[in-house]
Every structure is written in structure tokens, then in C-alpha cells.
Structure 1
């Protein structure tokens, strides 16, 4: 009986050693080999909240690894079970598993561009965000008018017009971003970018902030020439000081909203019911008419000192500035009526 037991124990030991060796060899092959040679690129998505086991099974299904079970063992061995990030990752079926794990745990997810140019209204910005696939425009509209959000970011208006900072943002995965996250990112960026202005001129109160952003929005819409921005801001500042009407065409357009068809008519200029009609209403309009860029904000905070009271577009993107009405009328005849 003793011999039989020893024989069985020996056979069992041999089987165990054999299985261990087989598992070891298979594990070594898993760690060293890649699923395909040559490999192919795979954009792999890790969803927020996915477990490591779920990620491993998805990697196996995509052909990025050959065994989810061994990949889980690898994650445990490397103590990376809780390190995998959410996002889209550029992987390859030609990589060994250790490289796949390293990329998911410490690599940078693929980032996508959300480009918002200067001078857009809040509804144009919302449409750009939707068109680029990041969030629904109707959700953006709701958030732009959210009183709590306006209070949080110290916006002294009934909506966030003027504060949706124009910039190229790099974000994870279009179509899966939270609209609130995007709106708050734009609002936070406004304060981050303007910090240098407040450092130089002092933190503004609500009235000063409203005036500055509104003036900057007019500057943004009136000229795209960097060298002219401070000069245009100086013209408007001077006209305000003399109680002159600003007579800014872009404010009329903003007041018309989505009904504007591309042409300003005499009826539009004479329409005193348009709250943004600076041909009929004195002072700045009730609020910003777009989201200005940093250069326009700087110009509004530090307008150029000069004697100009008028300017007219030359048709090539620039303007001619005049000190008197006679000079201005001559410039209008030269650059506008002739054209």
C-alpha cells in the first residue's frame, strides 16, 4: 500500500509539474508574442467605469491580445488592475501584452479637436459644438442660460454670451462628452486666459466686467486686423465719453438674431425696438454680441488714446479712421458708396 501511495504521489507530482511547466511556457509565449505579424492599428475604447476584466475581454475580442485570462494575470502581477484610463487609445495587434497594458495605464488617450473661433454668438458656438460631434446644441443652450452656472462663473448677464472663450480645445472622444463639462471648460478658460488682464488692471466688479466684455465683443466683430483692435476700442470709448451713438452695425445684426438674412436695411437701422440697435439707442448694447478673443479683450481693457471718432471699412479687411465728420464722409464716399 505504501508503494502504491508513493507511486501515486509521484505520478501526481509529475502531472503537477507538467501542468505548471505548460502553464509557464504558455504564459511566457503570451508575454513575448504578439497576436499578429505584422500588426494592424486598432483604436480601442475604454469606457468610464469598465472593470479590468471587461477591458481584457474586449481586448481579446478586438484581437489586440490572445488571452483575456493571461492579461488579467499580467495586470495583477504588475499591480495595474486599477490603473487603466478611460478614453480612446491607439493600439496595435503587433504589440506584446506588456506594451498594451503600459499604454492603457500610463499612455495618453487620443485627443480630438474642438475648434471655436473668435466672434461667434452663443448659438453659433452651440452649433459648432454639435457639428463637431461633442454635445447637443439644445443642451448647450440650456446651460448657457443656467442661473446657477452664471453665478458660479460670475457672469453679470442673463446668459453666458461673451464668456464662451474661443479656443482650440483637445478633448476625449466626440459624442461622449458631457455638455456641462464643455460649457464649464469654456467658461473656466475665459477666466484663465483673462487673468493677465486683471493682474494688470485689477479684478473688475460686475459693472466693469459687463462693460469690458461688451466693448470687447464690438471690437471683435468690427475688425479682424490685430493692429486695429485697440484703435477701434479707442473710437468707441471716445464716442461713449461724448454721449455719441456708437452706430455699430454688428449690434443690429445681433439684435436680429437668426432672422438676419445677410443684409442690413434702412428699416433695421430705424428700428428703435431692437434693444441692440446702437443707431437708435445710446451707450453700449445690453450685453456682449459675441465671444471675443483675448486680443479684443486686451484692446477693450486698454483702448488706444487718439482723436478718432469715426472709421469705415475699406473692403480689404481694414478700416480708415477719421477725426471729423467731413473726413469720415469723404472716406465713406471713397470706400463705400463707390463700391
Structure 2
């Protein structure tokens, strides 16, 4: 803000002054061309000195014992035009009252009209003159106007000692504006409060205004502000209540659920491996099958088999009750997957694919026969023209999830890929020569024989040892014939244990190891991981013969005599079992 009244005199400085060292106080503007005004003692002879004015009275010469002021009079550092300052009588009276009040601080303060000097050191140029008479001024071009003698003038500034005193006037209550604006925080902060640089002028005026407002009426706020505040409060309470109700309902209320077996719209839902009931419920809810995940969890937890639902693809209806969904998913036959078991023959796999994909019987077998070369077989797979089915041994045992877009071709390709990847992982090509075999396909063929005749991992290793020993050229007991019943059954597309051995030996077929030496042209099934591992790591126990004592146990022997004894025991059990 613009400062008025800074004159050439010294800044007020006194240790008891609240504005001690204040560089902003200089009183009124020192107008150029004015002569210093010396306050004589005759101006204050009618005033009775107060205790706090003793020092001031001493300075005016009223009391002889007064000591001289400790601050020397400052001289004007530049010449000034002698002129007088015209003021109204009321202003002179105010000026005198201000000096009396200021004297209580023990020092004469500069008001901006000139410089005060100590009474004993300066003569009063206005002695004997009427203090209220208008004085003449010597005008000259550019003379500064009187800033305190007009109705629009600024009020006289206050000295530092009275800057923070409360004024007697009360701040009037602000009324509504007539121009349509509202004095509220919506209309811009303080509703038009003065920023301190307006009509109040100096700091004294701003301080008085602030003091007056503190004791007056508070400002009115508009109805719009109250309405907005009410809306905010209601919104917060309403939102909190809504979410609180939802939390309590989810926490303690019954889970939302549909009723019945669902609508006439089916969706294939895939449950990934390792999914828990909670994740299953969320997947079903996202697909629109159940109303809530919690309802599914509750239903699955309360039934047998609900905690062991298998991963895979399930054909389910939309908007099913949680109990109905659990019933479908705990039934293995309803699982929309195809499982190729270890040792399963291709003929069985083809029939299963046709059934699962709802294709006419023979569809998949026909595709496998015509498109075998385009299904991803390795180069070493089909190396013998006597092979019945080039895909035999390459439909890897596993579970395959079926989707709406699954076809026989896509499913066969996936199976062949899985087998090829597994054989590459096991290093089948490099193991062939180590095992005394001619090519990698023979490794798969041995594994298929082992899987067909063995029962478990230990059997697989011993069974592989039997095959390798019978293939040896030094084998004069079986004359390098494998003599596995499984090869005869493969040719006959059957799985019989009791058949006529004489007829079997007389049946001529490259796959019938009772009739031909060595291995069949190709695998007789799809070996699993355990059979492959046993084939690649045989037992080396010198086993030559074996007999299946029962469905769960196989006995191995090294000599033919031991074998004959086991065969006699087996035939006796079979005769007793059949009632003979």
C-alpha cells in the first residue's frame, strides 16, 4: 500500500515503543516546502500532566528538573521553502490531543507535518498567535495538497503505541447486496472484505476495522451454501449407509442364489488347474451360471465330492442354482473333457472323440487315416509300411479340455504335439542305440508293450528287461520271439486273457509276437510316462519270463522251469475261478 507522511526526520525509536524499530511508521507525509513545527510549552499549559506524561512535560519545559532528551534534533538535510500549513480548528485540536496522548511514552513523535524539537532548544515561531486561526501559505507551482484537510482525506495515522488498541465503534451488520450477489463463501472468500489497500489507508485504519469486526455481528451466509452443505452431508451419510448395509449383508446375510436348473442357454465354463472353490465360484458368476460365488462355495462345501471338483471344461446352463451347478461338476461324466489313459489304443481314442464331439461313428478314425501326415508326426514315426495306424503311440495320454470350437483334427494335433514334446524331452532318439534298438520308433513300441503287460512302475522296469533279453540273438529259449498276448489281442482288437494259445501261434500277422520274431512294426498303444521311464531304464535283473498271478501282481522268473511252475499255478486258479 502507498505510505503517506514519511518525512526527513528520524524514525521513532524508544525501547518502550511496541513498534520498536518499526521501519514502516513515519506519520503523515512530509510535504515539501513546510517549515518545522515546534511545539511550545504554551500549548499545553492548560493540561494537567499525568504520570505517564511526566517525561513529555519535562521535555516541554514545564518542569525544570526535566532532563534533556537523549536524541538530538535531526536537521533537514536539504533547504525547504518556508510555508505554513492551513488546517481547520478541529484538526489543530486533534493534533494537540494526539501530542498529549503520545507524550505518555516519554518522547515526542513525528506526525508528518514537520519535526518536533525540544522546547528549551527552539523558539516558538507561533507564540501569541491564535492556534485556531487560519494561516497563510505561500503557494508555488507544484505545491503538494493537504491530504488531511478535505472530507475525502485519510484519517490521521496512529503512533506505534496505539496501533493495536480497539476502537469504540462497532462494525455495522452487513446487509444483503442489492445487485443480486450474495455475501458468502460462494461469492468469493470473505464476501468483499477489504484487502487492506482500500479506503482505510494506513495500518491504523485497517487495525481499527479488524477490531470493530471482532466485536460486531458475524457475517451472514446465503441459503445456497447451507443447501450445498446439507446435500454433502446427506450424500456422505447415505453412501456410508449403503455400503455398510452391503457389507453386513455379505458378511452375515444369506448369499444371493438362483433357483432351479437354469435357463435354456448353455455356456462352457473352464476351471483352471489349482483353482479353489472361491475362484471357481467367481468364474461361474462371471459366466452368469450362479448368482454369487459365496452361494457356490456354500453348496460345494456341503456335499460329498464338492471339495475335489476337477479342473476342466463343464457345459453348464446360465442362472443355475449353486446346488445344481455343484451336482453337474461333481459328476465326472458331465465334465466336458476327453481323457486318454495310459496304454489306450487309438481305436478306443477315436471312438471317444466321436462321442464327446457328437460326431458320427468312424469320423475321427477316417480323418486320422487320411490326414496322418499333416497332424504333426515326427519324421521317424512312420518308417514301416506294415504299420496298421501311423498315429498309434502318438496320441499322448492326458486329459484334454473340449470347447465349442474343438474339432477332431484340432484334438488329434494337440495329442500328437504332446507326445512329440514328451519324446523329445526324454531324448528317445539318442536312447535307441544305447538300448540295442534300431530306431526311435522301436523305443515307443517297447514302451507300448511294457504298458500293456505291466501293472505299475516296478513291473514296467522288469517287463522292459524281459523284452530286451528276448530280443537278444543269444536267446535260445523263445528263439527271439516276444510271445506277448497283448500283441495278439491288438491284432484281434480285443482284450482277452483266456484264449487258445495254439490258435494264437498259428495266426500269421506282423503284430502277432507269438508267430513272428522280434518287435511288431509299430506300437500297440499309447504308452504313459511311467512305461516310458521303465523302458529307458530297465531293471537289468536277467528276467526272461513272467506270469500275471492276479490283476494287481505280476511274478517274474529267470528260467523256463520256474516259469512252467507259475503257469501251472495260474491255470489252476483260472479253472477254480470259472467253476471247473
Tell me which interval the TM-score lies in, with the shorter structure as reference length.
0.5 to 0.7
* Structure 2 CA distance for aligned equivalents of residues 318 and 93 of structure 1: 47
Shift of 1:144: 2.3
CA change 1:179–1:203 in 2 (3 A) is farther
Deviation at 1:306, TM superposition (A): 1.3
Give 1:248's match in structure 2, choosing from 481, 484, 497: 484
Q: How far is 1:160 from its partner? A: 0.6
CA distance in 2, matches of 1:263, 1:321: 20
Match 1:202 to one of 409, 413, 430: 430
Cα shift at 1:45: 4.6
Relative CO higher for 1 or 2, CA cutoff 8 Å, sep ≥ 6?
Answer: 1
How much does 1:245 deviate?
Answer: 1.2
Paired residue for 1:296?
531
2:342 aligned partner: 118
> How far is the alpha carbon of 1:233 from its aligned partner?
0.6
Write the mapping of 1:212-291 to structure 2, written as runs, cut at 5 A: 212-241=443-472, 242-243=474-475, 244-257=480-493, 263-291=498-526
SS in 2 for 1:270: helix
Uncovered stretches (5+) of structure 2, i.e. residues with no partner = 1-255, 269-287, 291-313, 322-333, 575-580
Q: In the alignment, what sits opposite 1:323?
A: 558
Aligned mates of 2:423, 2:546 — CA distance in 1 = 28
Alpha-carbon distance in 1 for matches of 2:513, 2:431: 28
What residue number does 2:567 align with?
332
Q: TM-score, normalised by structure 1?
A: 0.63
In structure 1, C-alpha distance between the alignment counterparts of 2:513 and 2:320, rounded to whole Å: 63
Q: Which residue of 2 aligns with 1:10?
A: none
Matches within 5 A, 1:17-36: none
Match of 1:84 in 2: none
Q: 5+ residue gaps in structure 1?
A: 1-36, 47-61, 65-86, 95-109
Q: Deviations along 1:42-94, whole A, 9 cap, x unmatched?
A: 55459xxxxxxxxxxxxxxx9x9xxxxxxxxxxxxxxxxxxxxxx97875499
Query: 2:542 maps to what in 1?
Result: 307
In the aligned structure 2, how far is the partner of 1:303 from the partner of 1:265? 31
Aligned counterpart, 2:352: 128
Cα distance between partner residues in 1 of 2:257 and 2:481: 70
**Contact 1:310 / 1:325 at 8 angstroms: preserved in 2?**
yes
Report the Cα offset of residue 326 of structure 1.
Answer: 0.9
SS at match of 1:126: helix
- The secondary structure found in structure 2 opposite 1:177 is coil
2:374 to 118, 140, 149: 149
Provide the secondary structure at the position in 1 that maps to 2:442: helix
Could you give the per-residue CA deviations for residues 285-318 of structure 1, whole angstroms, max 9, x where no partner exists? 1211111111112222222211111001101421
Greater share of residues in helix: 1
Paired position in structure 1 for 2:192: none
Is the CA contact 2:396–2:419 (under 8 Å) kept in the aligned structure 1? yes
Matched residue SS, 1:282: coil
Following TM superposition, the consecutive aligned residue runs of length 4 or more in structure 1 with deviations greater than 4 angstroms are: 37-46, 87-94, 134-137, 203-207, 260-263
Of structures 1 and 2, the larger Rg is shown by 2
1:338, distance to aligned residue in structure 2 (A): 4.3
Determine if contact 2:375/2:413 at 8 Å carries over to the other structure. no
The alignment covers a number of residue pairs equal to 247
Confirm or deny that 1:189 pairs with 2:418. Answer: yes
